[in-house]
Structure 1
Amino acid sequence: MSVPDTQVVVVGGGQAGLAAGYYLRRQGLDFVMLDAGSAPGGAWQHTWDSLHLFSPAAYSSLPGRLMPPQEGEEYPDAGHVVSYLRDYEKRYELPVQRPVRVTGVHRDGELLRVETDSGTWRAQVVISATGTWWRPFLPAVPGQAAFGGRQLHTVEYRSPRDFAGQRVTVVGGGNSGAQIAADLAYDTDLTWVTQRPPRFLADDVDGRVLFDVATARRRALDEGRTDAGGVASLGDIVAVPPVREARDRGLLKTSPMFSRLHTGGVEWADGTRAEADAVIWCTGFRPALSHLAPLGLRGPRGHIPTAGTRAVGEPRLHLLGYGDWTGPASATLIGVGRPARDAAREISAFLAAEAT
Structure 2
Amino acid sequence: MTVYGATIREVDVVVIGAGQAGLSAAYHLRRRGFAPYTGFVVLDADDAPGGAWAHRAPSLRMATVHGFHDLPDFELPAPDPAAPAREVVPGYFAAYEARHALPVERPVRVRAVRSLPDGRLRVETDRGGWTARALVNATGTWTRPFLPHYPGHFAGRQLHYAAYRGPEEFAGRRVVVVGGGASAVQVLSEVGAVAETVWVTRRPPVYRDGPFTEESGRAAVALVEERVRQGLPVRSVVSVTGLGPSVAYRRAEELGVLRRRPMFDRLTEHGVAWGGTEEPADVIVWATGFRPEVTHLAPLGLRGPGGGIRMAGTQAADDPRIHLVGYGPSASTVGANRAGRAAAAGLVRLLGDPRAAAPAAVPAQRS
TM-score by length of 1: 0.87
**What amino acid is the match of 1:194?**
T
Number of aligned residue pairs: 333
The Cα of 1:72 is off from its aligned counterpart by 4.3
Distance in 1, matches of 2:278 and 2:173, equals: 16
Distance in 1, matches of 2:268 and 2:145, equals: 23
What is the match of residue 30 of structure 2? 25
**What amino acid is the match of 2:164?**
Y
**What amino acid is the match of 1:64?**
D
What are the equivalent positions in structure 2 for 1:257-296 lying under 5 Å apart? Answer: 257-269=263-275, 271-296=276-301
The Cα of 1:33 is off from its aligned counterpart by 0.6
Closer/same/farther in 2, CA of residues 220 and 318 from structure 1, 3 Å limit: closer
What are the equivalent positions in structure 2 for 1:171-186 lying under 5 Å apart? Answer: 171-186=178-193
Residue 92 of structure 1 pairs with residue 100 of structure 2: yes
Residue 255 of structure 1 pairs with residue 261 of structure 2: yes
What is the match of residue 312 of structure 1? 317
The Cα of 1:219 is off from its aligned counterpart by 7.3
Q: Among the aligned pairs, what percent are the same residue?
A: 46
Closer/same/farther in 2, CA of residues 232 and 108 from structure 1, 3 Å limit: closer
The Cα of 1:245 is off from its aligned counterpart by 2.3
The Cα of 1:252 is off from its aligned counterpart by 2.1
Closer/same/farther in 2, CA of residues 131 and 277 from structure 1, 3 Å limit: same
Distance in 2, matches of 1:221 and 1:267, equals: 33
Distance in 1, matches of 2:360 and 2:73, equals: 29
The Cα of 1:323 is off from its aligned counterpart by 2.1
User: Does structure 1 retain, via aligned residues, the 8 Å contact 2:189–2:249?
Assistant: yes
What is the match of residue 13 of structure 1? 18
Closer/same/farther in 2, CA of residues 336 and 68 from structure 1, 3 Å limit: same
**What amino acid is the match of 1:266?**
V
The Cα of 1:242 is off from its aligned counterpart by 2.5
SS of 2:360's partner is: helix
TM-score by length of 2: 0.85
User: Does structure 1 retain, via aligned residues, the 8 Å contact 2:224–2:237?
Assistant: no
User: Does structure 1 retain, via aligned residues, the 8 Å contact 2:161–2:287?
Assistant: yes
The Cα of 1:196 is off from its aligned counterpart by 2.6
What is the match of residue 238 of structure 1? 244
User: Does structure 2 retain, via aligned residues, the 8 Å contact 1:8–1:126?
Assistant: yes
**What amino acid is the match of 1:150?**
R
User: Does structure 2 retain, via aligned residues, the 8 Å contact 1:38–1:98?
Assistant: yes
What are the equivalent positions in structure 2 for 1:96-135 lying under 5 Å apart? Answer: 96-109=104-117, 110-135=119-144
**What amino acid is the match of 1:339?**
A
**What amino acid is the match of 1:123?**
A
The Cα of 1:168 is off from its aligned counterpart by 0.8
What is the match of residue 225 of structure 1? none
User: Does structure 2 retain, via aligned residues, the 8 Å contact 1:213–1:231?
Assistant: no
Structure 1's unaligned 5+ residue stretches are 223-229, 325-329
Aligned residues: CA RMSD: 2.4
What is the match of residue 297 of structure 1? 302
Distance in 2, matches of 1:304 and 1:154, equals: 26
Structure 2's unaligned 5+ residue stretches are 1-5, 226-235, 353-358, 363-367
